[in-house]
Structure 1
Amino acid sequence: MTEPTGPPPGSAHGGALAERLNWLRAAVLGANDGIVSTAGLVVGVAGATGDRSSLLTAGLAGLLAGSLSMAAGEYVSVSTQRDSEKAALAVEKRELRERPEAELAELTGLLEERGLSRDVAREAAVQLTERDALRAHARVELGIDPDVLTDPWHAAWASFLAFTAGALLPLLAIVLPPADWRLPVTVGSVLLALVCTGWSSARLGEAAPRRAVVRNVGGGVLAMGVTYAVGSLLGAAGV
């Protein structure tokens, strides 16, 4: 009885699943950035003044500036990555046209490195080349799926929405409660949210949740503590 030589069931979707997990983890980290940066901003302003309109203005300004900055940065970064992928595919297409035998030998060697015997690797390389040479080399050699190139607009909108969602929590927490409850509600809700984002990012990255949560909460506490102290000093000085 021969062993099946094809990929295990469900493995065809492994790349798509990994891609979705990467996007989800990026969304969690984007929301975390929105929580920490906006919380630090509004808590710092709260240290200087208790005026609700000032807190709302500062929070909205921080939310918009942060979300737009995240979106622009992600767009530029992913656009660069997409350009690099297109350039690599263009080079591969030219090499396949100009020296097909060398490219076939290269693909054979790459499949051998993945554990196939010489004869099986050669046969697989021939079949993959006959079916779609560019797609075979893109996936095996470059690690690129030519049908699913990274989308900079998708990345930009995802970053914008993730940061905005995270930033809304401290903004609403600082402006909605009565004056005496603003700081306790904000600090408590932010710490709870940081526990959730720290745990989620660790689980998605298959890391230890406890250490990630401690780092996340510690960073949030430090950010809020420092900005509140600075705001209090400026407020006391009448700046």
Structure 2
Amino acid sequence: MGHTEIHRAQRVGWLRAAVLGANDGIVSTASLVLGVASSGANPHAILVAGIAALVAGAMSMAAGEYVSVSSQADTEGADLSRESEELSADPEQEKAELVAIYVERGLDPELANTVAQQLMVHDAFGAHARDELGISKTLAARPVQAAFASAGTFSVGAALPLLVVLLFPPSTFILAVSGGSLLFLALLGSFSAKVGGAPVIKAAFRVTFWGALAMALTAGVGALFGVAA
């Protein structure tokens, strides 16, 4: 019988980076547009500020994700290298470690010993990476994937408030960008929850609430230090 269960853990890496990128793109760009618009700046200045936010934000997201996930990958690589050396130096001790892990998880000692023995023969390194270190192919750090996912989705997210700026008259910028961005955030939260198998309403509310707070604070700062008066 084939394996028909659908699991979503393999999506964790790219989904986290993608949602983070899109959320930051919408929130940061919309907040900046609202702040500049609230200060009384002209439409051209608002659009230029938004485009600059898109480019700078996408590069920042890509660099930040790549550096942070690379650090995780370096740590995983160091742990795997050490584990490989320990397996070569003292395989019996490493087998005993597996036995102890399986006993702690609920197997009786005899069965745990049998399982550990068979795994040591089949793929000792893979067994220790997975069961001792918690490192697997599914959840392994992928810096390039994370960087591209964050930068790409940030750009898409940031483009949405800018599209509103292009389509609506200057007199409605604040209302249109606010409403449109909250709608985009709600859709993003719902989509990410659907893909990840999480409660949709809770995720949509969480994303929308924090986005609304960020935009309100930035608009307030723009109005406080505005140049229109």
- In the superposition, the TM-score normalised over structure 1's length comes to 0.84
Secondary structure of residue in 1 paired with 2:226: helix
Match of residue 29 from structure 1: 20
Secondary structure of residue in 2 paired with 1:142: coil
2:206 and 2:108 map into 1 onto residues whose CA distance is: 46
Q: Deviations over 1:172-224 (max 9, x none)?
A: 11233222333332122111112122334445566554444334323222222
Match of residue 185 from structure 1: 176
CA contact (8 A) 2:9 2:138 kept: no
Match of residue 73 from structure 1: 64
Tell me which amino acid in the other structure corresponds to 1:46. A
CA contact (8 A) 1:135 1:146 kept: no
2:137 and 2:34 map into 1 onto residues whose CA distance is: 47
CA contact (8 A) 2:20 2:150 kept: no
CA contact (8 A) 1:31 1:163 kept: yes
Which stretches in structure 2 are left out of the alignment for 5+ residues?
none
Percent identity reads 48
CA contact (8 A) 2:17 2:146 kept: no
Aligned CA distance change for structure 1 residues 10 and 99 (closer, same or farther; 3 Å): farther
2:120 and 2:29 map into 1 onto residues whose CA distance is: 52
CA contact (8 A) 1:52 1:175 kept: no
Q: Are positions 1:9 and 2:3 aligned together?
A: yes
Tell me which amino acid in the other structure corresponds to 1:164. S
Match of residue 151 from structure 1: 142
1:229 and 1:131 map into 2 onto residues whose CA distance is: 63
In the TM superposition, what are the counterparts of 1:1-239 in structure 2 within 5 Å?
Answer: 9-10=3-4, 14=7, 17-145=8-136, 149-203=140-194, 208-236=199-227
Q: Which moved more, 1:31-40 or 1:204-213?
A: 204-213
Tell me which amino acid in the other structure corresponds to 1:167. A
Aligned CA distance change for structure 1 residues 146 and 234 (closer, same or farther; 3 Å): closer
CA contact (8 A) 1:32 1:166 kept: yes
Secondary structure of residue in 1 paired with 2:85: helix
Tell me which amino acid in the other structure corresponds to 1:59. G
Cα shift at 1:128: 1.0
1:149 and 1:208 map into 2 onto residues whose CA distance is: 26
How many residues in Structure 1 have an aligned counterpart in Structure 2?
228
Q: Deviations over 1:75-112 (max 9, x none)?
A: 11111111111111111111111111111111112122
1:93 and 1:58 map into 2 onto residues whose CA distance is: 51
Match of residue 5 from structure 1: none
CA contact (8 A) 2:40 2:226 kept: yes
Q: Which moved more, 1:200-209 or 1:223-232?
A: 200-209
Q: Which moved more, 1:21-30 or 1:122-131?
A: 21-30
User: RMSD of the TM alignment (CA)?
Assistant: 2.5
Secondary structure of residue in 1 paired with 2:3: coil
1:207 and 1:191 map into 2 onto residues whose CA distance is: 20
